Amino acid sequence: MEFDKPVPGGPCWTELGTDDLEGAKRFYTELFGWRPETDPRQAAGCYTVAHLGDAAVAALTPLYQESQPVAWNVSFAVADADVTARLVEEAGGTVVVGPMDIFDAGRFSVALDPTGAAFQLWEARAFPGAGLLNAPGTLGWVELATRDTGRAGHFYTTVFGWGTGGSEQYTEFAVGGQEFGGMADMGDRYPPEVPAHWLPYFAAEDVDATVRAAVAAGGSVRAEPMTVPDGPRIAVLADPRGAVFGVFAEDEAS
């Protein structure tokens, strides 16, 4: 990710929905050094913001609906959630929640792209999103896995105006000329029941050490550490409840 604070159209926040909030607090605190703070207001539904130093970097929440999976979600910053929600529907996506006000923090919506991947819209008011991006322990890249890259690419460039680059094998997304994420074809690498999805990657100082720490804390490895040719060192992990996320280090030697 080529910016360290949210920018319009780019990823601005990531949050975990989990059926073990206390366990998630322990796991991610041990892994990334986060300091979780749970909103005491009853209407907040135990929404927990994780901090790294003074910066808010992610959220951990209970599952609010029976159908909600244990998973990480990605939010994109928009100037007007209502306008963007209409663009989502016009481009073939589906709005499943909102738009709705979240106290005085901002306006929020949940949508599905035409290939089934869920994502969130965030119109900032009092809360701008992550106070820090692309630093160890914070969101540093987002990746869409889908079985129809052509349809998905057209959708996101239409709704958000993203630029695209990369290669035939891997599309890179950019906003204002700054890269922040990518898109990969799921192909036969995933079981048929796995839906299209956005995967957050957290920056790490040492990918291999982070993988060992995750396993020691009760997590598991979904993709072993590897160094992308001319790219970062990456790995894909799952927390103890099965929520999948990635870690990467830009200049780490293999």
Per residue in 172-183, pLDDT tens?
A: 999 999 999 999
> What are the residues facing 108 on neighbouring strands?
100, 122
Q: State mean pLDDT over 227-245.
A: 96
What is the pTM (predicted TM-score) of this model? Answer: 0.95
Delimit the CATH 3.10.180.10 region(s) of the chain: 11-124, 139-249
Q: What is the pLDDT of residue 173?
A: 98
* pLDDT tens by residue, 113-126: 999 999 999 999 99
The better pLDDT of the pair 64, 254 is held by 64
* Homologous superfamily of domain range 11-124: 2,3-Dihydroxybiphenyl 1,2-Dioxygenase, domain 1 (3.10.180.10)
Token pair listed for 24? 């998630």
DSSP states along the chain: ---SS--TTSEEEEEEEES-HHHHHHHHHHHH--EEEE---GGGTT-EEEEETTEEEEEEEE--STT--SEEEEEEE-S-HHHHHHHHHHTT-EEEEEEEEETTTEEEEEEE-TTS-EEEEEEESS--S-S--SSTTSEEEEEEEES-HHHHHHHHHHHH--EEEE-SS-EEEEETTEEEEEEEE-TTSS-TTSPPEEEEEEE-S-HHHHHHHHHHTT-EEEEEEEE-TTS-EEEEEE-TT--EEEEEETT---
> Mean pLDDT, to the nearest integer, of 64-78?
93
pLDDT band at residue 253 using 50, 70 and 90 as cut-offs = very low
**Chain-wide mean pLDDT for the chain?**
96
Query: Which CATH number among 3.10.180.10, 3.40.50.1010, 1.10.15.40, 1.25.40.320 corresponds to the domain 139-249?
Result: 3.10.180.10
